[in-house]
Amino acid sequence: MTATLSTPGSRFGSKPLLRSIRLRTVLLWLVIALALAWSLAVFSLIALRWINPPTTALHMQRHFQALIHGVPYHERYRFVPLTQISPHLQHAVVAAEDARFYQHHGFDWHEIQIAAEDDLEGSRTRGASTLTQQLVKNLFFGTGRSVLRKGAEFTLVPIAEFVLGKQRILELYLNIVEWGPAVYGADAAARYHYQTSACNLDRDQSARLAAVLPAPLRRHPSRMNRYSVLILERMRQMGW
């Protein structure tokens, strides 16, 4: 009768090997899942050239937050063509949120540099996100912050610029952006805050609505006196 000899560590060496294989498998599936999610986002951007979004990641996030906190949620969201949105509001939003919107290709590197310098000095008072970046974030990521989100956003923004074009980007942004609790888009905002349609907004109303955008859940147009005056001045300087 012969005895079977085993080399030292053969029984124990297999466990690290199995763990390594499992880790590689998990990482592989994670990469595949991320690639599929990114591809879906790209196909969605292509479709958005012709199809109006029924909802966005931000809308779903707010709805979920309301459910978690047991708060009533009555969403106001109606998509309207850009031609039915007051030019005053279009100009006010561009002046307030992205003055170089028609010059850059998705990223405003000048504003990014200024924001980075402000960060180094500890005196940052302005953001550097363009309307295209904000559109991509609202569509696919909501308000979440992470390195992964930033990386995905960085790759999707140029695609949005190429596929959609400036006018469609502006149309989408004005229709999905948050303008108050469960209030999304220019027409819902106009009716909620001013009891009128988006096409009837005047210059002052438009500037006040644009002033709300950096913090739509905390700000109200009626209290945006100083900032709305600044936006009106920016509009004048830009020839609007």
Element (H, E) at 77: strand 76-77
Output the six-digit token pair for 107: 């990223």
Helix locations, the chain, DSSP H:
10-47, 57-69, 87-97, 109-121, 131-140, 147-164, 166-176, 186-194, 203-212, 225-237
Assigned CATH topology for domain 54-237:
Penicillin binding protein transpeptidase fold (1.10.3810)
Res 125: pLDDT: 42
Res 19: pLDDT: 80
The more confident residue out of 221 and 18 is: 221
C-alpha closest to that of 213 among 117, 108, 113, 127 = 127
The string of pLDDT tens digits covering residues 188-237 is 999 999 999 999 999 999 999 999 999 999 999 999 999 999 999 999 99
Q: Where are the domains of the chain?
A: 15-47, 54-237
The more confident residue out of 23 and 91 is: 91
**Alpha-carbon distances of 101 from 37, 98, 106, 113, 156, rounded to whole Å:** 28, 5, 8, 16, 17
> Is 50 exceeded by the pLDDT of residue 124?
no
The string of pLDDT tens digits covering residues 37-88 is 889 999 999 999 999 999 999 999 999 999 999 999 999 999 999 999 999 9
Edge to edge, what strands does the sheet with 183-184 contain?
76-77, 183-184, 178-180
pTM as predicted: 0.86
Separation CA 191–CA 183 (nearest Å): 10
Separation CA 126–CA 112 (nearest Å): 10
Res 127: pLDDT: 60
Phi and psi at 183, nearest 5°, equal -110, 115
pLDDT (mean) for 11-33: 77
Res 1: pLDDT: 47
Separation CA 202–CA 86 (nearest Å): 8
Q: Are 226 and 213 in contact (CB under 8 A)?
A: no
